Structure formats: C-alpha cells, structure tokens
Amino acid sequence: GAVVSQHPSRVICKSGTSVKIECRSLDFQATTMFWYRQFPKKSLMLMATSNEGSKATYEQGVEKDKFLINHASLTLSTLTVTSAHPEDSSFYICSARGPGLAGGPLGEQFFGPGTRLTVL
C-alpha cells in the first residue's frame, strides 16, 4: 500500500525558535498533501492543503505566516512552525493523495505517523 513518512516523530524546542516537519510519500507521487493538527483527545483539524508546485491553501483561522508549507516536489512537503510558542504544542499529522490512487480525486488519503511538537 501507499506509505507516508514524517520526520521527526517528536521534537522539543524553545519558545521563539522555528521547527520544520517533513512529510514524504515513499512509494507514490503525491500531487496533494494535507496538514492536520490534533489536540489531545480531539479530532483532526485541517490546517492547509498543498499542491505540488503551487502555494498552499490555508483553512480559515490558520496563520499562514506562522505555519509555512512548502510542497516542492511530488514526494515531499514541509511544515515550518515559525517563532513557536507553547500554544503551538500539538500533534501534527500529514496525509497525501496521488493521481490514480483508489477513489480518484475524492478518494483516500494516506496518513503519516504524526509529529509531536512540544514548545517549552
């Protein structure tokens, strides 16, 4: 099946620093990648959608200058949390969808294992 990886799995940083999270599709080309945020015991909230080679589309209420998303290739998207603060601590999950995968454009997304960010 389609595999998506995320790196790092855990990161602890000091307030004010920036953190980059990578999301890779290992065995397929991901034309679209999604970034979610999940608070403890809560559901996944979509932050942004990125299409390869174009700017990300952010959901309402998500600060695009704080959460920088780059989808530079068909297998890699990055999320950079800039000037991180304790309230940015959360679990970040990416997912990817490629052309021709089961279900077509309305079909399945494949999820990465997530990254736990802790900002001290």
Name the residues that contact other proteins, by CB under 8 A: 32, 34, 38, 42-46, 49, 91, 93, 95, 97, 103, 105-109, 111, 113-114
* 11 vs 91 by CB, closer to other proteins: 91
* 14 vs 103 by CB, closer to other proteins: 103
**Shortest distance in whole angstroms from residue 26 CB to other proteins:** 14
**Shortest distance in whole angstroms from residue 58 CB to other proteins:** 12
**Shortest distance in whole angstroms from residue 16 CB to other proteins:** 27
**Shortest distance in whole angstroms from residue 93 CB to other proteins:** 7
Q: Token digits for 101?
A: 């995968």
* 74 vs 91 by CB, closer to other proteins: 91
Q: Closest Cα partner for 96 from 8, 20, 36?
A: 36
**b/e per residue, 76-98, with b = 16+ CB within 10 A?**
bbbbebeebeeebbbbbbbbbbb
Q: Closest Cα partner for 81 from 2, 20, 7?
A: 20
Q: What are phi and psi of 92, to 5 degrees?
A: -110, 130
